[in-house]
Amino acid sequence: MQLGTVALTGAAGNIGSVVRKALRAEATRLILLDRVPLRPEADNEEAHTVDLRDQAAVQSALAGADRVLHLGGVPDEAPLPELLDVNVLGTHHVLEAARRTGIDRVVLASSNRVTGFYPVEHVTDPQDPVRPDGLYGVSKAAVEALGRLYSDKFGLSVVCLRIGSFEPAPTEPRHLATWLSPRDAIGFLLAALAAPPAVRFATAYAVSANTRRFWQLPDPAVLDYTPLDNAESHAAAVPGAAHPTAPASPQAGSFALPEFTLRHLNP
């Protein structure tokens, strides 16, 4: 499927930098957005320095796009005002620009941290109620809710990807369940951009085919990608991999500890 003109927010980020290279070959034109200045590296790229909190700048940069891959935002736990300002309001600006300019598909980067308090013994499905493990997870739950609203109310086609632990290789025991390899990340993101037009709204976990995985893989009818990598192939190099996690402990691991969020709360 031809992707046409694709806009990529957060193009300078960890995932954005990887998927940018893959999108060059799939998109007729690639519009790069980030608050960090970028330079085009191919004839079909154009770059915009944009703060997602600036609605007019976002709409101007997205003009002419057929699809948007929205990766921009605060990537981890932070004070709630910052998360609301960038993640939630920034996503609203992207969705509103898509509504106003007639963009066909918006892919929103959500996070596994939306359901981090489910126990590791539970295979979590996107239809399960959210159980965020912190303020960051709350902001991503709001991002998903905005996507649902714009799909239901305005007919926008939205896919929310709950991204796993994006790393070159797993480095800790939790990653043996949550790892998302760069190759699989590209596969999931391209599949979400190219999902059938009949997919008006979907939420899916983007995670590699890990033996210890505790998230449900997407329905191929919605997201036609089968992950290729398995964290288990790296287990011998991961300290503590031989010690099983207690079944009742939260999927978020240390992210679920009170201390992880308390340092971001006002005294």
Give tens-digit pLDDT for 147-179.
999 999 999 999 999 999 999 999 999 999 999
Q: How far apart (Å, rounded) are the C-alpha atoms in residues 197 and 175? A: 33
In this prediction, residues 200-223 reach a mean pLDDT of 97
Q: How far apart (Å, rounded) are the C-alpha atoms in residues 110 and 64? A: 24
Question: What is the layout of strands, in order, in the sheet containing 201-206?
Answer: 45-49, 29-34, 5-9, 67-70, 105-111, 157-163, 201-206
- Residue 207 Rama label (left phi>0; alpha psi -120 to 50; beta): beta
Question: To the nearest whole number, what is the mean pLDDT of the chain?
Answer: 97
Whether residue 123 lies inside any domain: the answer is yes
State the pLDDT confidence band at 77, using cuts at 50, 70 and 90. Answer: very high
121 contacts 84 by C-beta, under 8 angstroms = no
pLDDT of residue 136 exceeding 80, the answer is yes
Whether residue 95 lies inside any domain: the answer is yes
pLDDT for position 244 = 86
Whether residue 24 lies inside any domain: the answer is yes
Residue 232 half-sphere exposure toward CB, CA atoms < 13 A: 7
* DSSP conformational letter for 32: E
Whether residue 181 lies inside any domain: the answer is yes
In this prediction, residues 55-68 reach a mean pLDDT of 98
**Domain containing residue 163:** 5-262
pLDDT in tens, 41-53: 999 999 999 999 9
State the pLDDT confidence band at 131, using cuts at 50, 70 and 90. Answer: very high
Q: Which of 103, 91, 191 is nearest to 148 (CA)?
A: 91
Whether residue 267 lies inside any domain: the answer is no
Report how far apart, in Å, the C-alpha atoms of 245 and of each of 15, 68, 137, 174 are. Answer: 28, 38, 22, 8
Using a 10 angstrom Cβ sphere, with 0-12 exposed, 13-18 middle and 19 or more buried, the burial of residue 247 is exposed
The CATH number given to whatever domain includes residue 190 is 3.40.50.720
State the pLDDT confidence band at 240, using cuts at 50, 70 and 90. Answer: very high
pLDDT of residue 23 exceeding 80, the answer is yes
Q: How far apart (Å, rounded) are the C-alpha atoms in residues 66 and 43? A: 18
Query: Is the full-model pTM beyond 0.75?
Result: yes
State the pLDDT confidence band at 251, using cuts at 50, 70 and 90. Answer: very high
In this prediction, residues 69-97 reach a mean pLDDT of 98
Whether residue 60 lies inside any domain: the answer is yes
The one catalytic residue in 118, 136, 150, 225 is 136
Judge whether 136 counts as a catalytic residue: yes
Number of domains forming the structure of the chain: 1
Q: How far apart (Å, rounded) are the C-alpha atoms in residues 11 and 166? A: 15
